[in-house]
Amino acid sequence: MSSKLSDPIEVCAKQSLTTPNKLGDCPFTQRVLLTLEEKHLPYELKLVDLKNKPEWFLEISPEGKVPIIKLDEKWIPDSDVITQKLEEKFPEPSLVTPPEKASVGSKIFSTFIGFLKSKDPSDGTEQALLDELTALNKYLEENGPFINGKEVSAADLSLGPKLYHLEIALGHYKKWSVPDSLPYLKSYMKAIFSLDSFIKTQAQLEDVIEGWRSKVEG
């Protein structure tokens, strides 16, 4: 049974590090916003300065983390929990990824961070990332264009923002890009990044760069 929504859903999100009153660089928040956009649900963004967290925010998010959204008068943290709750409460249009496909590409983000932070070119972190990207490319060749075939689903909305961060951060800090030998992955990234919902909710390039600086420079 689908619920109707009269008031916009409140969403607390990271504020830009570089531009006042702009959305910041959090792939997990973008995942939530993409879910709201693809389900055509109205929402109201509350931007939070995570370097100087206001008292009202710490009262609803004691750990000081985003994203957090208000649903049925309760504040819910964690993008996994939030997206599941949104799917249950607003099942149409469905964004469900079948369980056997839900973990496709799930190791890419951690291997990306490993390579981004690496100071030793021979430590295997680049190859670890390439192995994961190659596996995704092969999967998409056989099952694409999206993770669940022809339609965008929850798994894409989770993976897309992480690939966006990967592309920008590795391009800037490592002068590295996804190789042309992975054409299905490159087409997938282009398709996801071209979605109206993605363009509307993506972080600014300079925010992604700034957001990863401490990981790279220590």
Is 12 part of the annotated catalytic residue set?
Answer: no
- In 3-state terms, the chain is what percent helix, strand and coil (to 5)? 50, 10, 40
d(CA 87, CA 54): 30
CB–CB of 10/44 below 8 Å? yes
Catalytic residue among 26, 157, 169, 192: 26
d(CA 29, CA 156): 14
Run of H or E residues at 12: strand 9-14
d(CA 119, CA 124): 11
Would you say how long the chain is, in residues? 218
Does 93 sit behind a cis peptide bond, omega within 30 degrees of 0 on the bond before it? yes
Q: Tell me how crowded residue 124 is: count the other CB atoms within 10 A of its CB.
A: 13
Provide the annotated active-site residues: 26
